[in-house]
Amino acid sequence: MEIISLTPFDLSVAAILVIALSFVSARMGIGLGRQILVAGLRTTIQLFLVGLVLESLFANVHLGWLLLIAIAMLLAAGREVTNRQKRKFSGWWGFGVGMVSMSISSFSITILALTVIIDLKPWYEPQYAVPLLGMLLGNTMSGIAIGLDRLTQTAWDQRNRIEARLVLGDDWSDAIRDIRRESIRSGMIPIINAMAVAGIVSLPGMMTGQILAGNPPLEAVKYQILIMFLISGGTGFGTMFAVWLGSRRLFDDRQRLCLDRIKKTG
Amino acid sequence: MANLLIKNLYFHIFGPVNIEVEASECIGVTGPSGAGKTLFLRSVADLDQHRGSMSIGGIESTGMPAPEWRKKAGLLLSESSWWFDLVGDHFVNMNETWLEKLGFDISVLGWEVSRLSTGERQRLALLRLLSNRPDVLLLDEPTANLDAENSKNIEMFIADYRCENKAAVIWVSHDMDQLNRAASRCYKFNSDGLETIWK
């Protein structure tokens, strides 16, 4: 089966939909008319830029280039995690907690997948490495962002409970155990749900892409299962690590609750 | 002997506070709202940052892990907090005579915390704290939500605990009559330390 290449005309037809949507929203006073256009434009420009980068990356397979791309993706994801916090850690920690956890879980799992599971020569073949890392980072990012947001917000709201436990002689870990557990839960639930409904409610994006590109459905399914497992591992362990690190940061060396280490954003 | 010795304690914008409370002794601390009395007690329990030194029975707070110090220097917060559904889950060991002295029976352990009144919570929070057998008691308005009869009851109960366990007590209150009954010395809390009201 051949891939049917999309022409500018094909994309324009789809773009008319977005323009029409923007027009109708503006007329209805929903107030999103402009935002829809800007978002549509951003999608177009950003994706074309990424496409150009990938084309040149695929043409020049080199570990250095791949690392550069990987670090750029990681920084962008770290920024996104920070921006999604209602109350974030002040100073370097705000960026650091998410970044460290994401890099540990996403990078190690991507490398595991490339070297052991897919077994590529060379293992840093960007055609596999970049999309894999992208999907892992994207999902890990969400899990960590949700987990950390929940952690700092709940700790803020329940400071009295935490301190009441400290006063009775609980150590920091016991005092925040329930909050930590709930935060990890809420970070992990989206990916668990996604695994549970995969293929029933919707076809996962990556699989859809492979099928559209002409791959046999069962091959696409195998890759999708692999990705799902990798993503759950990455999100789960990443969230656990980030929430643990964050919860430790909420206490100082004398195990006092230090809410001045988080600040409200926006 | 478990006396509490506080030397040059600075915390927040307050200090220096210098005081020694002997074993089995109770001192009263009063002062206007917002004067820093609660912050003072929190610092002694090592719950807030502070400078200076504190020791119980000659052992410095820094010489032991913070949770251990907090078990010795038991702070009763003015507002009690509960984190499990049932009262009993908050208690490791329960002394039945204590429950009865404060007007409860053993069935209270099966009660839901959400159905307790503020006064019941406050009395149970005291029992929860004392079941750690602290050497020092730091009481932040322990009878603020109680009626006259229950207040007297609590005063007697704390006095009994103090004598039996040779505990040193710092009692913060706005009620001068209560401090007259409970304490052997009384201080007013100022931004630059404790000012003697009577000895």
B67 touches chain A (CB under 8 A): yes
Under an 8 A CB cutoff, do B80 and A168 touch? no
Q: Which of A160, A178, A254 should one mutate to test binding to chain B, selecting the residue with the greatest count of B CBs within 10 A?
A: A254
Mean pLDDT score of chain B, rounded to an integer?
93
**pLDDT band of A84, cuts 50, 70, 90:** confident
What contacts 24+ positions apart, CB below 8 Å, involve B64-67?
B65/A171, B65/A255, B66/A166, B66/A254, B66/A255, B66/A256, B67/A166, B67/A169, B67/A170, B67/A171, B67/A255
Q: Would you say residue A1 has pLDDT above 60?
A: no
Chain B nearest C-alpha distance from A242 (Å): 24
* Predicted local confidence at residue B115, as pLDDT: 94
Please provide the DSSP assignment of B17-74 as one string.
EEEEE-TT-EEEEE--TTSSHHHHHHHHTT-S--EEEEEETTEEGGGS-HHHHHHHEE
Least confident stretch, A120-124, A128-132, A247-251, B43-47: A120-124
Cβ–Cβ gap B67/A169 under 8 Å: yes
Torsion of CA B171, B176, B178, B179, to 10 degrees: 40
Q: Do residue A160 and residue B77 have CB atoms under 8 angstroms apart?
A: yes
Instruction: Name residue, tokens 């001045």.
Output: A260
Which residue in chain A has the smallest CA separation from B131? A168
β-strand pairing of B26-30 with B14-21: unpaired
Encode pLDDT of B82-122 as tens digits. Answer: 999 999 999 988 888 999 999 999 999 999 999 999 999 99
In this predicted structure, the answer to whether residue B63 has a pLDDT above a threshold of 70 is yes
pLDDT tens column, B69-91: 999 999 999 999 999 999 999 99
Domain count of the fold of chain B:
1
Mean local confidence (pLDDT), B124-147: 94
Query: How many CB atoms lie under 10 A from the CB of residue B113?
Result: 19
State residue B193's pLDDT score: 83
Which ipTM value was assigned to this complex? 0.95
Query: Do β-strands A87-89 and B73-76 pair in parallel, antiparallel, or remain unpaired?
Result: unpaired
Judged against a pLDDT cut of 70, whether residue A93 lies above it is answered with yes
CB atoms within 10 A of CB A40: 17
Size of interface A-B (CB pairs under 8 A): 53
β-pair type (B26-30, B185-190) = parallel
Interchain CB contact of B106 with A (< 8 Å): no
Q: B17: domain CATH number? A: 3.40.50.300
The CA-atom distances, in angstroms, between B196 and each of A85, A160, A256 are 49, 32, 31
Q: How confident is the model at residue A120 (pLDDT cuts 50, 70, 90)?
A: confident
List the single residue in A161, A254, A257 with the smallest CB-CB distance to B83.
A161
Q: What is the pTM of this model?
A: 0.89
| Domain span holding position B113 | 4-198
pLDDT value at A2 more than 70? no
Measured between CA atoms, how close is B126 to chain A, in angstroms?
11
Q: Is there a contact between A170 and B67 if contact means CB atoms under 8 Å apart?
A: yes
User: What is the C-alpha separation between A170 and A175, in angstroms, rounded?
Assistant: 6
Amino acid B1: pLDDT: 58
* CB A55 within 8 Å of CB A44: no
In angstroms, what separates the C-alpha of A257 from chain B's closest C-alpha? 8
Residues of A in CB contact (< 8 Å) with B are 160-161, 163-171, 178, 252, 254-257
pLDDT in tens, A231-255: 999 999 999 999 999 999 999 999 9
Q: What is the mean pLDDT of residues A204-220?
A: 89
Asked whether the beta carbons of B170 and B27 are under 8 A apart, the reply is yes
- Give the minimum alpha-carbon distance from A167 to chain B in angstroms, rounded to a whole number: 6
Q: What was the pLDDT predicted at B2?
A: 85
Whether pLDDT at B33 is above 90: no
Of A169, A171, A178, the CB nearest to B132: A169
The predicted structure's pLDDT at residue A265: 78
Interface contact B81-A256, CB threshold 8 A: no
More confident residue, B134 or A6: B134
Closest residue by Cα to residue A233 from A129, A108, A119, A117: A108
* A128-143 average pLDDT score: 92
Question: Is pLDDT above 80 for A188?
Answer: yes
Q: What is the mean pLDDT of residues B4-12?
A: 95
Chain B residues whose CB is inside 8 A of the A170 CB are 67
The answer to whether the Cβ–Cβ distance between B81 and A160 falls below 8 Å is yes
Residue A216 pLDDT grade (very low, low, confident, very high; cuts 50, 70, 90)? very high
Q: Is the pLDDT of residue B128 over 90?
A: yes
Confidence of residue A173 (pLDDT cuts 50, 70, 90): very high
Contact A166 B128 (CB under 8 A): no
Instruction: Quote the percentage of chain A above a pLDDT of 90.
Output: 71
A-chain residues near B66 (CB < 8 A): 166, 254-256
Place of tokens 């890392």: A133
Tell the residue number behind the tokens 């002689």, with chain if given. Answer: A169
Contact B81 A170 (CB under 8 A): no
Q: Which residues of B fall within a CB distance of 8 Å from A171?
A: 65, 67
Q: Which residues of chain B make contact with A257, given a CB cutoff of 8 A?
A: 47
**What confidence score (pLDDT) does residue B183 get?**
95
